[in-house]
Every structure is written in C-alpha cells, then in structure tokens.
Amino acid sequence: MSSPYFNPERETMTRAQIEAFQLERLKETVRHCLTNPFYQKKFKEAGITADDIQTLADVRKLPFTTKNDLRETYPFGMSCVPLKDCVRLHSSSGTTGNPTVILHTKKDLDEWANQVARNLWMVGLRPDDVFQNSSGYGMFTGGLGFQYGAERLGMLTVPAAAGNSLRQIKFIKDFGTTAIHAVPSYVTRLYEVMQEQGVDPRRDTKLRVLAIGAEPHSEEQRQRIEQMMGVKAYNSFGMSEMCGPGVGFECPEQNGLHFWEDYYIVEIVNPETLQPVPDGEIGELVLTTLCREAMPLLRYRTRDLTRVLGRSCPCGRNHIRLDRMRGRSDDMMVLRGVNIFPIQIEKILMQFPELGNNYLITLTTDQDNDNMTVEVELAEMFTDDYGRLQQLGKDITRALKDEILLTPRVKLVPRGTLPVSEGKAVRVVDKRKVYQ
C-alpha cells in the first residue's frame, strides 16, 4: 500500500517544525524581495529592514501588498529575478485596468506542480488514475496548473479544457477517466448532459474523484454534486498571485482546506483594522509566499474572507485548516470561475443612452447553476415599439457578455424602481446558497 502522503516529510511536520521552517524561509524571502526597488521603497516607508524579522510574529511588521500594487507595477515591476530567468507568465483579464501579471521561474513551476500533485495524492489519486482537466486553459491558471500537477503525480492527464460537454462525456467513457477538475457549476452542467444522453455516471463511468474550485460553492452544493456523480468532491483553493491552484485543498476528512504552510504564511486579519482576528472568527485571508523566486509576495491581501478551523487533523497533517471562502472584502464577484467587478457592468450600461444610472446586480443559484441578473432602469420611454425594447435588452446582454464573458439575464425596469441607498449604492445582492 502506498503512503497517504506525496511528500511525507513536509506534509506531516509538527507545528514546531512548520514554524521553524517558515521563519527560515521568511527571512530568505524578505532578503530576496529587497533586491527589488518596489520592495525597497515599501520597506523604507514602513521604516523596517530585513533584520527586523527575528520571529515568525515579526511578519506583522511587514507592509501589505495588494492587487493594486501589481497593477501599478505592471507588467514586470514586482519581479525579483531578471526576466531571462522567467519561463512562464500568467495574467488576469485586466478588465478593470491594467492586468495583473505573475511571472514564474522554472523552479516556481516545479514547486507549483509539486503542490498540486500533493493535493491530488492527498485525495487518493495515484499514477494509475486518469485525470481529465475540464478547466479553462490559457491565461487561467486552473488549466496548466492542474495539468502539470497531475502529470507530476504520474497520472494520464487529459487536457480536455472547458466546454463541449458531449466530447467531455465521450472522453470520460472512452479513456476511463477516474478524476475530473472543473468549476462546480460545470460539473452540474456535465451531469445534465449525461442525463440527456442516458449516461449514468455510476454505471457508465469510472469517475470517483472531483476537484472543484475557482468559484464559491456551498457544502450543500458539494454534497449534491457527490450524490449526482457518485464521487467524492474536494474543494480546491488557488489564486494566480500565489501561483494558481494548489494553495489549499481538502483532505479526505473534508473538514476545511489545508493551506500549505511550507509554501505560505497564512494570516487572517480584520479587513478594516488589518489586525489579526482570533481563530474561528471570519476575516480576510492574507498570504505571504515562502518559496517563490520570480514574484514573491509579502502579506498579499487576497480579499477572500474565511476563518481558521484548526491546526491538526486526523489525516496526520498539521497544516492550517481554513473554512471554505465566505465572500469577499471588496466588491469583486466570482461567478462560474470568472472574476467580475461591478464597475465592469456599470461601464457597459453607461454606454447606452436609453438607460438611467441606477442598476442592481443579483447573483442567484438556480438548480445548482449560479446566475447573474442585471436590472437596469430606463432613462426614459424612448419608443412605442415593443420590438425595440426587446432589441435594447439583447444589445445590452451581448455587450455585457463581451465584457464579462458570461451571459447575464438583463431586465429593464422603470426609473425609480430600484432601491436607492443613502450614500454608497448597493449594486450587488448575492443570494447564492454559499453565502447563506
């Protein structure tokens, strides 16, 4: 019987060992960061030097970094190695300004693959498994991240990418796929198509493990996916700034995600005061990378809200366990794996002179599919023609789809019908199951 651990030494470290390892790596990371003018300036402003890091708690002396820092230093300003040493670049869509660019050295990619392989091994996948990655490829890290990790583990890996459900199902049957990575809403879609095709995942496929992530989902949604597909579904956490998928993953206990503390220092802070919150209390996840060469990030504010569940686990791993993400501390929405800011919606709506200034975005879960409805007020009645009103709705829908890559439901409403709040307008109402 094979070991339950991909990297037994690192995965089963005691808390004392983890913390000693982190302190050493933190000192190294800080020294490495200070080769870069951006960090030199930040440290100077904060009035600290590398020597101020003597204990692990000293991490709190370090300045935070944010997505805005990445934008302002676009594209290569936060790189801590010469560009010639980088071999990969990933980027966010950049629809709200400059994209954020993340660079990787060969060693960064190597470590990233190890992280993902560790996760997949942890949930029982072995080299004789067949792994189908039904995730977007290209700039989205869920594609290549899982590809390299699954290959590192030694599985036959199928880069099926997202979409074309009929072909996905054919692959699952023909290749004997045992594991899939996809966003949860796509798994639901696959199941629907399977039903239409008369395919019973329990009877007609060898599926047993799903890795789901990149969009918020509730425990109920996970359980429904498990029942539908006859599999175990494990929650995956990643973000391109930290590498991509592989940052945190559920173990077979399915009681929170282990965040790998040999790769990151995990802090949970109050998003207002930026002070640490006690274990169990919800706050913003702040991560410091410990092993990255090209773009180490110190105290990066992820804007994701979560809480600490514990630092031990029956699985034998003492890496910190965090709850599934509970929302965001900024106004970013994550819908079907796509990051969307309300300002993107607003920008499009304001291009239509027929529309007023007030709009409301509502996110709902309808039969396991997450959907967006955009209600927008008409500026005035500009036509007596029902067809033109309908055409306007279609034009808005298309323009929004081009911007956010998802098709929202657009609803025209009379002026004055949407709630007008005092001060900051409420633009987003999230009614998805995960946040209830």
Partner 1 sequence: MTIVQLSIFIENRSGTLIKVLEVLKDAQIQIIASTIADTAEYGIYRLICSEPQRACEELKRAGVPVSLSNVFALELDNQPGCAAEAIATFSRAHISISYMYSFLLGDKGILVFRTDNAEQARQTILENHLRYISEPDLSCLA
Q: Which residues bind partner 1 (CB under 8 A)?
A: 378, 380-386, 389, 411-417
Look up tokens 């590809």; give the residue: 147
In the complex with partner 1, the residue whose CB is nearer, 8 or 382, is: 382
Query: Could you tell me which of 236, 325, 311, 310 has the C-alpha nearest to residue 280?
Result: 310
In the complex with partner 1, the residue whose CB is nearer, 85 or 375, is: 375
To the nearest whole angstrom, how small is the minimum distance from the Cβ of residue 400 to partner 1? 17
In the complex with partner 1, the residue whose CB is nearer, 330 or 380, is: 380
Cα 235 to the center of its chain, rounded Å: 11
Strands 232-239 and 209-213: parallel
- Rounded to whole angstroms, the Cα distance separating 47 from 43 reads 6
In the complex with partner 1, the residue whose CB is nearer, 347 or 409, is: 409
To the nearest whole angstrom, how small is the minimum distance from the Cβ of residue 422 to partner 1? 19
In the complex with partner 1, the residue whose CB is nearer, 255 or 397, is: 397
Could you tell me which residues are beta bridge partners of residue 308? 322
- Rounded to whole angstroms, the Cα distance separating 285 from 322 reads 9
- Rounded to whole angstroms, the Cα distance separating 162 from 126 reads 23
In the complex with partner 1, the residue whose CB is nearer, 248 or 408, is: 408
To the nearest whole angstrom, how small is the minimum distance from the Cβ of residue 354 to partner 1? 10
In the complex with partner 1, the residue whose CB is nearer, 110 or 382, is: 382
In the complex with partner 1, the residue whose CB is nearer, 46 or 381, is: 381
Q: How far is CA 141 from CA 90, 145, 245, 268, 299, in A?
A: 7, 5, 7, 24, 21
In the complex with partner 1, the residue whose CB is nearer, 384 or 422, is: 384
Residue 413, burial from CB neighbour count under 10 angstroms (0-12, 13-18, 19+): middle
To the nearest whole angstrom, how small is the minimum distance from the Cβ of residue 360 to partner 1? 13
Query: Could you tell me which of 322, 287, 326 has the C-alpha nearest to residue 308?
Result: 322
To the nearest whole angstrom, how small is the minimum distance from the Cβ of residue 281 to partner 1? 40
To the nearest whole angstrom, how small is the minimum distance from the Cβ of residue 40 to partner 1? 57
To the nearest whole angstrom, how small is the minimum distance from the Cβ of residue 358 to partner 1? 11
To the nearest whole angstrom, how small is the minimum distance from the Cβ of residue 361 to partner 1? 16
> Which helix or strand (DSSP H or E) is residue 90 part of?
strand 86-91
In the complex with partner 1, the residue whose CB is nearer, 41 or 394, is: 394
Indicate the angle between helix axes 184-196 and 165-175, nearest 10 degrees: 80
DSSP state of 310: E
**Secondary structure (DSSP) of 42-77:** HHHHHT--GGG--SGGGGGGSPPB-HHHHHHTTTTT
To the nearest whole angstrom, how small is the minimum distance from the Cβ of residue 417 to partner 1? 7
To the nearest whole angstrom, how small is the minimum distance from the Cβ of residue 96 to partner 1? 29
- Rounded to whole angstroms, the Cα distance separating 264 from 427 reads 34
Query: Could you tell me which of 7, 41, 31 has the C-alpha nearest to residue 296?
Result: 31
Q: How far is CA 340 from CA 249, 328, 361, 397, 405, in A?
A: 24, 12, 11, 15, 9
Question: Count of residues for the chain?
Answer: 436
The structure tokens listed for 167 are 């072909």
**Secondary structure (DSSP) of 121-171:** HHTT--TTSEEEE-S--TTSHHHHHHHHHHHHHT-EEE---S--HHHHHHH
